[in-house]
Structure 1
Amino acid sequence: MTMPCRSVERGASAVEYGLLVSGIAAVIAVAVYAFGGVAGEVSLDSCKHITSATGTTISTSCE
C-alpha cells in the first residue's frame, strides 16, 4: 500500500516553514549585530540630553 500524498505534503510544508523561520531569524541576527552599536549610542545620547536638559541627577548613570 502506498503512502497518501497528503501526509508527504504536510511534512514538506513543515520543512518549508522551518526554513522560512530560520531565514527570518538569521536576518534579525544580522540586523541586530549591524545596528546594535548605533542603537546603543542613540540611547546613551538621549539619556545625556535628558539629564542635561532637566538639570536633575538620575540615580542610575547613563553609562
Structure 2
Amino acid sequence: MKNARLPFFANDEGTTAVEYAVIAGLIFLVIIAAIQPIGAQLADIFTGAADGFKQN
C-alpha cells in the first residue's frame, strides 16, 4: 500500500501552476494597494467638482 502512494507524491507537474497562482495573487494585492490612494484622491477631485456645480 505504501508503494502505491509513492508515485502520487513524486508527481510534481502541478507545482508550476500553483507557483504562478501565488505570484499572480501577490501581484494583484500590490496593484490593489497601489490603486487605493489614487482612488481616494480621485474621489476628492470629483467631489470638489460636483460641489462647484451645485453652487452655480
Structure 1 length-normalised TM: 0.58
Q: Where do 5+ consecutive residues of structure 1 fail to align?
A: 50-63
- Equivalenced residue count is 48
Q: 1 or 2, which has the higher helix percentage?
A: 2
Q: Which ranges of 4 or more aligned residues in structure 1 deviate by more than 2 Å? A: 33-36, 46-49
Q: Where do 5+ consecutive residues of structure 2 fail to align?
A: 1-6
Structure 2 length-normalised TM: 0.62
Greater relative contact order (Cα 8 A, min sep 6): structure 1 or 2?
1
What is the root-mean-square deviation of aligned Cα atoms in Å?
A: 1.8
